[in-house]
A = this chain, B = another copy of it.
Amino acid sequence: MPAIEEALRPALTVDCVVFGWGEAGLRLLLIRRGRSPFKGSWALPGGFVRPDEGLASAARRELDEETGLSRLFLEQLYTFGDPGRDPRGWVVSVAYFALVRQAGLEPRAATDATRAEWFAADALPELAFDHREIVRLAVERLRAKVRYAPLGFELLPREFTLGELQRLYEGILGGPLDKRNFRRKVLGLGLLEDTGRRQEGVAHRAARLYRFDRERYRRLQRGDFAFRL
């Protein structure tokens, strides 16, 4: 092993995979690159890390600078360092991801991005660098995670119908779920509380409104060891 003075150094970037859930389904935030390489291509928001900031801070800063979205909770996803992944040379990128309610989050492009927009997650344009691969891994992580963490509940209004919840799971898992099975399983978790009310302003057959029982979820989390297979 060389001493640190002799070690060759890569450029280090962060890239942010931000999913938004809204009426139009699952969407992904992309920026249009204002400079080479891949000038004019769509890409994940991101950029070079500075020496005096942590990796997560760099991800939050770049996301804010390029899209105007701030204060999102970003979770580290994976670090991409295959030789040849960037035409500029040796560039290693730490990817972060977030899943947020899209409502009210209107990105505004700035700095190196000429545009910043939400795209339907199942109809993305061609992406710069290996960003398609980064997105693929983020979708995989999201699909695994939604099975054992109640992150889906953060994306719905405080009170929601089982139909809304099913559409959310279908959007994330990328395909239709059997309605009867879904209801049985989700109610079987014992994490939904029936509010006793029904949705208003619908033409007919108003559905029951449920609420997520956070206290019960916390108790389950603290509970005995359980297999989750």
Q: Report if A88 contacts B (CB, 8 A).
A: yes
Cα A83 to Cα B49 in complex, Å, equals: 11
Complex contact B52–A81 (CB within 8 A): no
Q: Tell me how many chains of this kind the complex includes.
A: 2
A50 touches B1 (CB 8 A): no
Which of chain A's residues 41-68 have a Cβ closer than 8 Å to chain B?
Answer: 47-55, 62, 65
Residues of chain B with a CB closer than 8 A to A229's CB: 148, 150, 189, 191, 220, 228
Least CB distance, A20 to chain B, in whole angstroms? 22
Within 8 A of B (CB), among A101-125: 111-112
User: Are B11 and A48 neighbours in the complex by a CB distance under 8 Å?
Assistant: no
**Residue in B1, B55, B82 whose CB lies within 8 Å of A48:** B1
Q: Given contacts A12-B92, A227-B186, is CB(A54)–CB(B76) below 8 Å?
A: no
Bound-complex Cα distance A8 to B51 (A):
7
Q: A4-B88, A9-B11, A51-B90 are in contact. Are A147 and B228 (CB under 8 A)?
A: yes
Q: Which of A8, A169, A189 is the most central at the interface, judged by chain B CB atoms within 10 Å of its CB?
A: A8
Can you spell out 23 A-B residue pairs with CB atoms less than 8 angstroms apart? Answer: A1-B62, A1-B65, A4-B48, A7-B11, A8-B50, A8-B51, A9-B10, A10-B10, A10-B49, A12-B12, A12-B92, A51-B83, A54-B81, A76-B78, A147-B225, A148-B229, A169-B225, A173-B225, A182-B225, A185-B226, A186-B227, A191-B229, A228-B229
